[in-house]
Each structure stands twice: as structure tokens, then as C-alpha cells.
Amino acid sequence: MPKARRALAPWVALLLLLLSTGCSEKLSRQAGLTDADLLARGEKQAERKKYGDASEAFQVLLERFPSSPLAPRAQFGLASSRMANKDEIEAEVAFDDFLRLYPADPKIPDALFLKATLLSRQVLSPGRDQGKTLEAIKAYTLFLEREPASPRSLEASGKLRELRNRLALHEATVVNHFLSRKRYDSAEARARRAVAAYPDVTAAPTLLSLLGKALEKQGKRDEAETIRKTLAEKYPEHGGKKR
């Protein structure tokens, strides 16, 4: 008997999969469901953490009743459920649609905060493409414009500092690359822009130090000395030492 049960197990699993797929298709084809029915179903499934089923219900509502007064709620629910289900690309699209279609909705700050959180999970390490970092910064900034004083605002401000520091570290990586290739003028130009753009982040002394190194390599000793003095004054722990 145990062997027979083990042999049947894959077939049972397949049958359950087919049944669940059938139920899913049935929802999209089922007539008579109102927008309120679909919204209630989607929100109930989300509460149960069945985010795939929740997304389906919200999607059917939006397809059948695009002008419904419940559509904004469904669109937000769709984006949130896709995010919870780790469908990152689909979630980002859904949040963008919500922000574009319902700019006056009271959940706009929520959507901006969640979109920023979603994007910040996808940022790449310094030296790689920082597109998601820039997008996350934009979303957090827009959120803070809408909600400047709240517990979430403190979290958003902290995330902004982290993301800006990541961009500064990216710039440091690029400057180091130029230095390693002996492209000292390019290293200097890039370091100067970065120092001006990120004077208040943790990586700021690193950028200053790299600028000093680029100047030193070009024989600009007076300017390099000025940078070392600035480092010693503003960041004593770095001591303005040569690198």
C-alpha cells in the first residue's frame, strides 16, 4: 500500500494543479460577478495571503469594469498583491498604472512608498547599472513631498540617504577605474562632480580622497594639498593622508 500511494502521489498533484487552473479560468469566464463581488474576493484572498488569486480577481475587475468607482481600489490591490507575490516587474507596472490613472486618489502616498520600497529591493551593487537606484530615489522624494511628516517619512528619509550613498560609492568605483587606467583627467572630472553632488553622505570623504589622488597624479600638488586639508578638517578620522 505505501508503494502504491507513492506512485499515485504525482498524479494526485497533477490533478490538483489542473483543478486549480480550471478554477482560475472559471473566474475569468464566470458571468454575473459584479465589481463589488470581484473586489471582495480579491481583498479576501489577499488577507489569506493567496496573492496570486487576489491579483486575478483584481485583474478581472479592471478588465470588466474599467470605469467602476472601485477600479482605483482594485488597481492598488493588484499592485500590492503582485508585490507581495514577488512579481516585481508586474508590480512595478501596476503601481505605475495606479499613479498615472488616479493621481488624486488618497492612496497615492501609499503607492509611492511601496513602489520606492519595491525598487530599492532591486538596486544593483556599485559599478553596475544604477537605474533602479535613481528610480527609487525619485519615488521616495515624491512620497516625501506628499507626506513630509509621518513615521514613514523618517524611514523614507533614511532610505534616501542609503540610496544616495550607494550612488556615491558607484561614482567612487568609476573614479577608481579611471585611476587604474591612468586616465587622471577623467578621474578628476568625475570625482569633482561626485563631491559636489554627494557632500553629505558617508562616502563623501572617500570621494574627496580620490579627487586628491587624481590631482596628485597630474602634478597638481597645491590643489591636492587643499583637498587633504579639507579632509583633515571635515573628517579627522581620515587624517587627510595621502593614498
Q: Is the pLDDT of residue 237 over 50?
A: yes
| pLDDT over threshold 80, residue 166 | yes
What is the C-alpha to C-alpha distance for residues 162 and 116, in angstroms, rounded to an integer? 13
Query: What's the rounded Cα separation, in Å, for the pair 185 and 166?
Result: 23
The Cα 22–Cα 183 span in angstroms is: 62
The predicted structure's pLDDT at residue 238: 66
How distant, in Å, are the alpha carbons of 57, 70, 226, 240 from that of 34?
Answer: 11, 11, 71, 69
pLDDT, tens digit (0-9, with 9 covering 90-100), for 178-214: 999 999 999 999 999 999 999 999 999 999 999 999 9
| In the predicted structure, residue 24 carries a pLDDT above the cut 80 | no
Q: Find the mean pLDDT for residues 224-235.
A: 94
Q: Do residues 114 and 84 lie in contact, with contact meaning Cβ atoms separated by under 8 Å?
A: no
**pTM recorded for the entire structure:** 0.82
pLDDT beyond 70 at 240: no
With pLDDT > 70 as the criterion, what percentage of the chain qualifies?
Answer: 87
DSSP class of 126: B
Hunting for cell 520600497 — which residue is that?
117
Could you give the CA distance from residue 124 to residue 198 in angstroms, rounded to a whole number? Answer: 19
Report the alpha-carbon distance of residue 101 to residue 62 in Å, rounded.
12
Residue 118 has pLDDT above 60, yes or no: yes
Find the mean pLDDT for residues 120-131. Answer: 96
Which grid coordinates are listed for 218?
597630474
What CATH number should be reported for the domain whose range is 33-100?
1.25.40
Asked if residue 195 lies in contact with residue 204, where contact means CB atoms within 8 angstroms, the answer is yes
What is the pLDDT confidence band of residue 236, given thresholds at 50, 70 and 90? confident
> 126: which strand partners?
128
